[in-house]
Chains A and B, each alone.
Chain A
Amino acid sequence: GDSVTQMEGPVTLSEEAFLTINCTYTATGYPSLFWYVQYPGEGLQLLLKATKADDKGSNKGFEATYRKETTSFHLEKGSVQVSDSAVYFCALTQMDTGRRALTFGSGTRLQVQP
């Protein structure tokens, strides 16, 4: 079945540092890929998405590029802030099936220190 693998956390960075959170996936066909974020005490929120190979999703300074050749969707940000501290989840969905439910990775906790 489909699966998503994320780098383990926590990832601890100083403010203004460069962020990369690795995500790779295993899926048949052409899944859509997502990053969701969970801030402390809040629900899961969509951060960005990409629906086909070479698409780049971006939001709030975060970016991720859908790389079909490496089955990856790494999350990057050039300069993190304390307010970016959260748990980040990579996920996929198969749009050409009736299910469409998201399959999530295990999450990566990011801690940004001032």
Chain B
Amino acid sequence: EAGVAQSPRYKIIEKRQSVAFWCNPISGHATLYWYQQILGQGPKLLIQFQNNGVVDDSQLPKDRFSAERLKGVDSTLKIQPAKLEDSAVYLCASSFTRSGANVLTFGAGSRLTVL
């Protein structure tokens, strides 16, 4: 099966500019996650969607970050305005909702550098 697709792979912007990342999950996966991975750290959850509804966005900096998942498939994560500390890899993951261990499949990530 096709994996989780993300774009762009790399983005360099100036602080205070805006950026958007796109994710296409595995077909049939109802749950979609966005994680932020700062260099040298483990991934941190930003937001979780179940279909097109938000399950958890408690760690999303809502003053500058926004995310949507229209029609319960693709998702977009936006940062506006960007700060230096937003430099990180943004990972998208998806999972199939069912009982048992919840296995997440990750995309390759989008690396953001804020200058």
Contacts and interface: CB of A to CB of B under 8 A. Distances in A.
B102 A104 contact: no
A107 B42 contact: yes
B107 interface: yes
Given A42-B108, A43-B107, A95 B102 contact: yes
Interface residues of A, number: 25
Interface residues of B, number: 28
Contacts of A32: 101-102
A43 B31 contact: no
Contacts, number: 64
A36 B102 CA distance: 13
A101 B48 contact: yes
Contact of A49 (B55, B103, B109): B103
A105 B55 CA distance: 22
A104 B55 CA distance: 18
A43 B109 contact: yes
Nearest to B109: A43
Nearest to B4: A43
Interface of A: 4, 32, 34, 36, 42-46, 49, 51, 89, 91, 93, 95, 98-107
Interface of B: 4, 31, 33, 40-45, 48, 50, 55-56, 91, 93, 95, 97, 99-109
